[in-house]
Structure 1
Amino acid sequence: MTRIPLSALILGLAGLIPFVWGALTQLSPALGQWSLSSLGGRFTGPYVGLAYGQVILAFMSGVLWGFATKTTGGRAATGYALSVIPALWAFFMVGGGPVAAATNLIFGFLGLLILDWFFVLWGLAPRWWMSLRIGLTAVVVLSLGVTVL
């Protein structure tokens, strides 16, 4: 694997902030209370991670769609079909309370990692893609796991 471009790494790490913030406001009652009174419920506890997780799964569908444009024929059709799965998963599977929603988001992000791997194997994603995605996914899963536990 080649080196992750600095801009992709910085933006990827910045994208973790809402997940980590949500976990921290659940783990620290004082921080959670401050966040609730200063930022509101939408940006506190599980709610920030759950809402943002849905957005990111939909965003990643768009990323995979972009990768699929690099090929033609049956592989392109397969890539397009696979690329919509994360967005549909977020739409249909996130609900039923914070624990169920976080659990389903975790499965969505782990499934996305498998899709990422296929796009790398097909030569459609950059060679450094999995180096970035594995680390980001680990932090997302751990952060959402705070809600599950």
Structure 2
Amino acid sequence: MVRIPTAPLILGLAGLIPFVWGAVTMLNGALASWGADALGPRFIGPYIQLFYGSVILSFMSGVLWGFATKTTGGRAATGYALSVIPALWAFFMTGGGPTTAGLNLIFGFLGLLMLDFAFWQWGLAPRWWMSLRLFLTAIVVLCLSVGVFH
């Protein structure tokens, strides 16, 4: 494992907060009630996870697009084409109720991890990229699993 620079690590950890908060509020009724009263019902449980998960998959499409700009020719074209998949996945696959949407987000984040690996293998992502992405993806999938399998 390669050491992850401090700023990306802290920002990545901060980005986990809505996923963790959603899982915790699904497991703790009192906290869910407090959260619904204090923040509103869309900021607890599966609601925050599903909306935020769609946002993050779309954001990651932009990150991959940025990586694709580091190359040219056929590799760049492939990178650009692959980079839009997470956003399209989020758009088309997060309907149908919280369980189906949560499961599809899990598949989306696992698919994103495969794309991360491809861009990393091509030398387009930083050396530490997979260390960060493996760690963050594991926590996201675990948190989404609470909503899907709880």
Give the TM-score normalised by the residue count of structure 2.
0.98
Within 5 A, what are the aligned runs for 1:87-102? 87-102=87-102
Aligned to 1:126: 126
Per-residue CA deviation, residues 77-136 of structure 1 (Å, 9 max, x unaligned), is 000000000000000000100000000000000000000000010000001000000010
Aligned to 2:111: 111
In structure 2, give the amino acid aligned to 1:103. L
> Unpaired runs of 5+ in structure 1?
none
Corresponding pairs, count: 149
Aligned to 2:63: 63
Within 5 A, what are the aligned runs for 1:10-29? 10-29=10-29
Q: Secondary structure at the match of 1:141?
A: helix
> Unpaired runs of 5+ in structure 2?
none
Q: Secondary structure at the match of 1:105?
A: helix
The percent identity for this pair of structures is 74
Distance in 2 separating the partners of 1:23 and 1:3: 28
Within 5 A, what are the aligned runs for 1:125-144? 125-144=125-144
Aligned to 1:81: 81
Q: Secondary structure at the match of 1:3?
A: coil
Deviation at 1:37, TM superposition (A): 1.1
Distance in 1 separating the partners of 2:25 and 2:50: 13
